[in-house]
């Protein structure tokens, strides 16, 4: 049977040959996920909940093809307490998962430090849909918050330069991050900086006030979680941006 015949049109894959392998079961919709005893229907060798972020809907997943992070889209705020993970249907390209897949794939092809998107899917229910995204796992990654807490004062400037350079590169590629906070900036075991979680992010036509708005959002978050230490680190970022 050809790859086209097997293709689920609700799913997009970064590797065309995987299109006949990755199906709805990979996204674990409507399943109670037990990381210690995965369901026999689960295609993964192991599943482990992500300890921070993801609104309790993100898991590290291991498969022979990839080591990834599965994230199911969940609502926040008051509405999220009523409608947990369904969104109003418009069209496939505007689903949260496909839109984020597009932004991440664009950045990845531009050699920007972002996890490679592996697959994205939506599941439609007449006027609503659910969505999920699988991205490549960054081994040994820590959040910027965790890293800053362990840095000596002399290392602050070096890491601030790395963070500022990556943010500047993202802005030069005209990508407006919808939630640039210190938990969405990761540092791997070799000190390389990545940006993650491009949900609701978009590509702009030109640089503008949105660039400063990204920096302002990051500053507010650093000050909130790290106080004066976060403010001092952000000062270095702005100086090196």
pLDDT digits (tens, 9 = 90+) for 123-178: 999 899 999 999 999 999 999 999 999 999 889 999 999 999 999 999 999 999 99
Q: Are residues 127 and 17 in the same domain?
A: yes
Q: Are residues 183 and 130 in the same domain?
A: no
Residue 78: predicted pLDDT: 58
Residues of the chain predicted below pLDDT 70: 1-7, 31-40, 52-56, 76-83
Global confidence as pTM: 0.90
Residue 193: predicted pLDDT: 98
Across the strands, what pairs with 12?
A: 120
Q: Are residues 72 and 146 in the same domain?
A: no
Residue 4: predicted pLDDT: 37
The CATH number for 222's domain is: 1.10.510.10
Look up the domain containing 29 and give its range. 3-136
Domain count, the chain: 2
From 80, 114, 136, the end of a domain falls on 136
Q: What are the catalytic residues?
A: 179
Residue 50: predicted pLDDT: 86
């Amino acid at each position: 049977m050809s790859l086209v015949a097997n293709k689920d049109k609700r799913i997009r894959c970064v590797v065309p040959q995987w299109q006949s392998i990755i199906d709805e079961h990979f996204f674990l919709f409507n399943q109670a996920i037990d990381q210690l005893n995965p369901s026999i229907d689960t295609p993964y060798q192991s599943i482990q909940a992500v300890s921070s972020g993801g609104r309790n809907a993100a898991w590290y997943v291991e498969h022979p093809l990839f080591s990834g992070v599965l994230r199911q889209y969940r609502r926040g705020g008051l509405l999220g307490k009523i409608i947990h993970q369904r969104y109003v249907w418009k069209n496939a390209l505007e689903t949260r998962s496909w839109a984020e897949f597009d932004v991440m794939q664009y950045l990845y092809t531009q050699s920007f430090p972002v996890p490679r998107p592996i697959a994205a899917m939506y599941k439609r229910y007449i006027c609503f849909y659910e969505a999920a995204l699988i991205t490549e796992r960054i081994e040994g990654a820590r959040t910027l918050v965790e890293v800053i807490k362990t840095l000596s004062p002399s290392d602050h400037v070096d890491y601030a330069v790395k963070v500022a350079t990556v943010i500047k590169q993202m802005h030069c590629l005209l990508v407006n991050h919808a939630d640039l906070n210190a938990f969405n900036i990761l540092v791997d075991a070799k000190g390389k900086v990545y940006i993650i979680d491009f949900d609701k992010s978009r590509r702009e036509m030109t640089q503008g006030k949105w660039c400063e708005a990204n920096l302002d959002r990051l500053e507010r978050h650093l000050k909130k979680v790290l106080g004066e230490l976060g403010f001092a680190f952000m000062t270095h970022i702005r100086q090196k941006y």
